[in-house]
Every structure is written in structure tokens, then in C-alpha cells.
Amino acid sequence: MQNKHLDHVEDLILTGDLSVLDALYNPNHISVKMDGAPALVWGTHPENGKFFVCTKAAFNKQKIRVCYTQDDIFTHFGHQPNVAQILFKCLKYLPQTEGVFQGDFIGFGGQSTYKPNTITYKFSEVIEEEIIIAPHTYYTGDCPLYEMEAHSLTGELISTNVCHFVQPFTDRVCGHTEPPKVNTDLIQFLSPKESKIAKQHINALIRSGQELTDEDLYGILGCNYLVNLYQMVIEIKEDLMDSLIVYDCPKAYINGEQINQEGFVLSYDCGMMKLVNRQIFSFSNFTQGRFQ
């Protein structure tokens, strides 16, 4: 399955997926979630062996928009000149390696400070390469792109003299080793449909700048025991984020204030999920707009 959307760990608990608790305590791979834009997909197409670049539209089942040439980019993205310009440069400067990858575009070389979306990144020196990309996912499968399986990128993509890959890595300070015991007898978990509606209401609260109080969450979730579990998972998540040490990463700022990155992506047996301080980053992301 393509990596189009990652759920917040606390949102996954709403339907009773207790595996996320184990995932937070086990030594799973955790990577930095970079706030670049647009999302890029590139690599060697498994069906024809040709090198391509695209946005997440590469995973469309119907309207195929894979770009092998500049003419393809103009045809599919000519109505989005900013995106087209980025794809032109990526087609020219990305190393043509085997495999299919996904990452976020940070900017064109020549500066030390970049603001591709909500977060401002400050590198320790001017980036001289032509393009700057933060890769995070690779895909496997001898099949159409939309059927390929997503995996967190744990290996390193080698930068070239024209393409700078930003690949921070993390280490965690040792903490608790056992997840808390959860008695689910009194918890009324939500159905997938109910969970989707609940997440919309929670996002609306965050967008308005409100804290997620127990009272507000009870009005959305309708069960005090589920509210307590939801808040507990948020606390565990934030403790884990505070324990992470980040290496080889530019400093990150929102509105001039330094933050500990946008968040992180945790890979576990069931897939990937995101760890984000939603009161800081998600609020800013909702209110300051997205890359166009």
C-alpha cells in the first residue's frame, strides 16, 4: 500500500488497536518526519524499467500521471507551474537508481535556510547541490505503482554533486520497557466509520487552537474510559518524542521559535504511524496553509 497518509498513534487506538502501545515501547525504527513539499515519488518503474518522477499522483489507479520526460511533466503538471518546475529539476538531477522511493522536496540549492511548507529549516552551511530532498519511504513489488508495498527507508541514499539527500537519524534514551496494562472491559471502542468522524472533530478542535481537554474529548468519543486511554497514549507518545536524540538534521523553527522537528515516523509490524505534537505543529500546519 502506498504511503499517502499516516495516522497519529493516538487516533489508531480509537478502534481498539492496542498493538500501537507495544510499538511505542519496542525498539522499532523511528525516523524524523521532515516538513517538505511537495511529496515526490521517483525511481525505476517496475513495469517498464524506465526512470520517472512524479508527485503522489504516481499512485493514481485511473488518471495515470507518471512522468518520464519533460513533455510528460508539462502535460500532467503544466497547470501547476511551481510543481512542474520542481519536477523538471528532479528529472534532471535525481540519481537514476534502481527501486521506487518517496520523499519531500525541501528546496533548490544555494541557501542555508528553507521554508518549504510550515517549518523553517536552517542548515549549518549553504547547500551547494541543485536540489534538496528528504527521502523516507521505499517500495517493493513487481506490479503497478498503486499496488506496491511501502516500507520505511532505513538505509542511506547517497547524495551526489547535484542532489542533496537529507536523512536524519534518531536514537532514544532508555525509558520504560513494558507498556501499561489496559483493561478493555469498560472501554467502548469506535467503529471505523465512527473513528473517521471523531478524528474530523478532533482536528477541528486543534485547528481552532483549543487544547484537547477530557470534557471536549468526551463530547466526541462518548466514553470516559476511551478518553482516558486516548490521553494516556498522547502522554506516552510525547514522552517518547522527548527521549529521542536527532542527528544530521537541520534546525527547525515555527514562527521563529525552535522546535524538535515536525515529528517522527515509527515503523512496526502493522505498518507506519506518525508521532507529532499536534498542539504545536498540526495547529500551525492547519492555520498557515499548505504548499501550492
Q: What is the pLDDT of residue 159?
A: 97
Please check the confidence at residue 11 and state whether its pLDDT lies above 70.
yes
Residues 212 and 228 sit within 8 Å (Cβ to Cβ): no
**Residue 178 — very low, low, confident or very high, per pLDDT cuts 50/70/90?**
confident
Please check the confidence at residue 291 and state whether its pLDDT lies above 80.
no
CA dist 174 and 171 (Å) reads: 9
Tens of pLDDT, residues 97-150: 889 999 999 999 999 999 999 899 999 999 999 999 999 999 999 999 999 999
Tens of pLDDT, residues 215-244: 999 999 999 999 999 999 999 999 999 889
- Cα dist. 151→25, 54, 95, 137 in Å? 20, 18, 20, 6
Percent of the chain topping pLDDT 70: 93
CA dist 273 and 46 (Å) reads: 26
Please check the confidence at residue 289 and state whether its pLDDT lies above 60.
no
Of 280, 172, 182, 176, the C-alpha closest to 231 is: 182
Residue 169: in which H helix or E strand, if any?
strand 169-172
Tens of pLDDT, residues 254-267: 889 998 788 899 99
Q: What is the pLDDT of residue 285?
A: 54
Please check the confidence at residue 288 and state whether its pLDDT lies above 60.
no
Residue 43: in which H helix or E strand, if any?
strand 39-44
Percent of the chain topping pLDDT 90: 71
Please check the confidence at residue 251 and state whether its pLDDT lies above 70.
yes
Tens of pLDDT, residues 180-206: 899 999 999 999 999 999 999 999 998
Tens of pLDDT, residues 66-103: 999 999 999 999 999 999 999 999 999 999 988 999 99
- Cα dist. 35→29, 146, 251 in Å? 19, 23, 12
Please check the confidence at residue 175 and state whether its pLDDT lies above 90.
no
Residue type present at position 81: P
Number of H helices, E strands in the chain: 8, 15
Residues 31 and 168 sit within 8 Å (Cβ to Cβ): yes
Can you give the pTM of this predicted structure?
0.84
**Residue 28 — very low, low, confident or very high, per pLDDT cuts 50/70/90?**
confident
Q: What is the pLDDT of residue 286?
A: 47
Q: What is the pLDDT of residue 281?
A: 66
> What's the distance, CA 151 to chain centroid?
12
Residues 279 and 208 sit within 8 Å (Cβ to Cβ): no
Residue reference for cell 507498556: 179
Sign of CA dihedral 49, 52, 56, 62: negative
